[in-house]
Chain A
């Protein structure tokens, strides 16, 4: 596809369950970012991938959150033992290169996670 895609678009889960969120970046984009958007917190950075490595994981809120990227392409964000405060929209973005740059980050439509 032409843009960043994310799946699922919506996920409802019970507290304590694990969830996996998927991001397919634009082909050829080496940089991939995960952000979280929640009421009252705005847009928060979670993790940045350059290729398959993650030089910046500073935004992951706890060790329940992890992410990986394989083949320099698809990324999966995993949240273990979900809590109600994890409810948010999780956004993925990709760009041609990382670092301080004017390269545009292209955003996917997001995954809305609801933890009951």
Chain B
């Protein structure tokens, strides 16, 4: 079955430090992959997506993600974290009907 895994439930980084959130997927074909962010009390907002071509994808708010087929990974990165980045982050991929299969989510805490 298709699955998306985020190994880290909670991550804490200092403001200004770099960030990497991990995501692993299990698929047969080249997948479409998404990263969404959810701020407290808000809906989900798309940060970036991969569907073909360049394996390094740029998104909004200074985020980027790299698709690595050999590692079945699509990790999210940001060079310098801001306090406003504190939120919950979800990696997701569509199933054959288009419904999104989400990872468990990673909660990011930013220390001042």
Which A residues lie at the B interface, using CB under 8 A?
4, 31, 33, 35, 42-43, 45, 48, 55-56, 59, 91, 93, 95, 97-102, 104-110
Which B residues lie at the A interface, using CB under 8 A?
32, 34, 36, 42-46, 49, 51-52, 90, 94-105
A-B interface pairs (CB < 8 A), number: 63
Q: Is the CB of B104 within 8 A of A100?
A: no
Distance in angstroms from A102 CB to nearest chain B CB is 3
A33, A42, A48: the one within 8 Å of B105 (CB): A42
Q: Is the CB of A95 within 8 A of B98?
A: yes
Q: Is the CB of A55 within 8 A of B43?
A: no
Q: Is the CB of A42 within 8 A of B43?
A: no
Q: Is the CB of B43 within 8 A of A48?
A: no
Q: Is the CB of A99 within 8 A of B96?
A: yes
Q: Is the CB of A45 within 8 A of B99?
A: yes
Residue of chain B at shortest CB distance from A35: B100
B32, B45, B97: the one within 8 Å of A55 (CB): B97
Q: Is the CB of A107 within 8 A of B45?
A: yes
